[in-house]
Amino acid sequence: MIAEIEKSAVARVIFVSSTSVYMDRQEIITESNVAALKQSPLVTIEEMFSNCNTFKTTILRFGGLVGYSRNPGKFFSNGKIVKNPDSEVNLIHRDDCIGIITKIIEDGVWGEVFNCCADTHPTKRAFYTQAAQASGEKTPNFAGSSEAPSKIVSNEKVKRVLKYKFVHPDLMKIEFT
């Protein structure tokens, strides 16, 4: 795939990755924390794009996507169990995904890696309970250790470098219907 891009006139690429590239480490994770990266195909693909010399790549590590048809209040309506309910969530609203991509293109910010998630990181228990209630769904079933490792992914670089102001900075204030 990259060889085909190298043969083309493409000069810039936005590669959408995921915050799942980070291990659960009970710490705040920034883009410079390479020790927190897992061995995964996604990390390998990021490296392939970043190491290419014929085009510039900006990597966006999005948290879990919410908004519009991605209503988290309905994620567990089929009885699926929410594991590790006291772990923090790293989520982002679709409006902010589009806003960040637009800002990168408008400002010409290439060759960077950005973590992209909301400012707040409520627990799964708090977030999914509120989202379910707001959507008229039953409270999800929770199971698992409250001591399970988790991570909080920092969005400070995207706010600092892009001067991006989140449309939905507080996950607990998003209205899901």
Domains of the chain: 12-172 (3.40.50.720)
> Nearest-CA neighbor of 111 among 176, 3, 14, 45?
14
For residues 20 and 22, give the distance between their C-alpha atoms in angstroms, rounded to a whole number: 5
User: What is the per-residue pLDDT across 87-116, written as a single tens digit (0 to 9) for each?
Assistant: 999 999 999 999 999 999 999 999 999 999
pLDDT per position as a tens digit, 57-70: 999 999 999 999 99
Residue 41, CA atoms < 13 Å, CB-side half-sphere: 0
Both structure tokens of 137: 């769904």
| Residue 78 pLDDT class (50, 70, 90 cuts) | confident
- Give pTM, 2 decimals: 0.93
Cα distances (Å, whole numbers) of residue 48 to 1, 43, 104: 10, 9, 20
Q: Can you tell me which residue has the tokens 């990181």?
A: 121
Residues in CB range of 56: below 8 A, 6 or more apart? 11, 12, 13, 110, 111
**140, 113, 132, 130: which is closest to 170 by C-alpha?**
130
Burial readout 89-124 (b: 16 or more C-beta within 10 A, e: otherwise): bbbbbbebbebbbebbeeeebeebbbbbbbebbbbb
CA angle, residues 84, 64, 100, in degrees to nearest 5: 145
